[in-house]
Amino acid sequence: MRTLSLSMLLLALCVPHAASADTVDELLEQYRAEGAGEFSAEAGQRLWHAQHSHGTAPNSRSCVSCHTSDPHSIGEHVRTGKSIKPMARSMNFERYTEQEKVEKWFKRNCKWTLGRECSAQEKGDLLVFLRSH
Amino acid sequence: MIKKSALILLAGLLSAPLMVMADGAGSGGSGGSYKRGPGVKPVENKAYLEECGSCHFAYQPGLLPRRSWEKVMAGLDAHFGDNAELDEETLLELTTYVMDHAADQALEKRSVKIMRSLQRDEAPLRITETPYIRHQHDEIPARYIKHPEIGTLSNCTACHKKAREGYYGERWIEIPGVGPWEH
């Protein structure tokens, strides 16, 4: 009887977890619906390092400007110096748990870095890259 | 009977506005009287702390007048060289919050002093551009600021150990690489 109730408890603990879909998967699904193709961590990595200069930013900038080249590292806001928690999910389990938050930062940071919003493909590639760490 | 009147007196005293020296009292000595407690009202709005505080110290709204905040909140897409756009709902909430707690709405010592230092229509975008804050920092040698933990005067918390609580008095200053502020 005890064994049975223990397994029931374990099952109960597992079910809600399994039922709640991963935020990253949900976002990837959404990006596919917006026309993106297969996502690639390699493409995400290239984007992570790609240097950009645009109208308001004559000096080149990239994700690395604030987040460092290693997503496991603590970053630093290039202007204010405030530290930024690592982008690698393995280093920070709070990352990529809220869709709105992910979209908010993509919007702000793509505009700052690339001078435009990122495409669904680019966002998906970056997420797949960051999730792999 | 005596007890009752004493109680009434006490209640009267408690409800009277408490105007005493604030924020570390004793410093300055200009004889002004201000609202008791911190020199600037600490931030209590969770969204403000989250949205503004993720890139920099969440400066208290009481450090700038409404006319400055109006400009700041209208230009978040180009916020001191950064993009700090907010969704409409959050923008409305934060705008309401900063406007309600701006320096010209506050009775705290630092807010009052900042307002007194400004010209009538002056609307600086930076707290470090207000005459009072500039004056308060004009004796600090540039080499102090160059310390890697400071870097810029905008980095309040580097030296003001109780900045988050709204206390900017000298007794709570600790300059990295230097120590307490003595002059």
* pLDDT value, residue A9: 55
Residue A110: closest CA among chain B residues belongs to which residue? B83
Residue B8 has pLDDT above 80, yes or no: no
C-beta atoms of B85 and A56 within 8 A: no
For B164-179, write each residue's pLDDT tens digit: 999 999 999 999 999 9
Residue B23 has pLDDT above 90, yes or no: no
What is the percent of chain B where pLDDT is above 90?
A: 78
Residue A16 has pLDDT above 50, yes or no: no
C-beta atoms of A108 and B83 within 8 A: yes
| Gap between the Cα atoms of A83 and A85, Å rounded | 7
Angle at A66 between CA A71 and CA B147, to 5 degrees: 120
Other C-beta atoms closer than 10 Å to the C-beta of B21 total: 16
> Which ipTM was obtained for this model?
0.75
For A26-37, write each residue's pLDDT tens digit: 999 999 999 999
C-beta atoms of B83 and A80 within 8 A: no
More confident residue, B128 or B34: B128
| Gap between the Cα atoms of A109 and A106, Å rounded | 5
* pLDDT value, residue A7: 63
C-beta atoms of A100 and B87 within 8 A: yes
The radius of gyration of chain A's CA atoms, rounded to the nearest angstrom, is 18
Question: Which band of pLDDT confidence, cut at 50, 70 and 90, is reported for residue A5?
Answer: low
DSSP bridge pairs for A84: A75
**Distance (Å) from the C-alpha of residue A82 to the closest C-alpha of chain B?**
6
Section B25-50 average pLDDT: 80
Question: Which band of pLDDT confidence, cut at 50, 70 and 90, is reported for residue A58?
Answer: confident
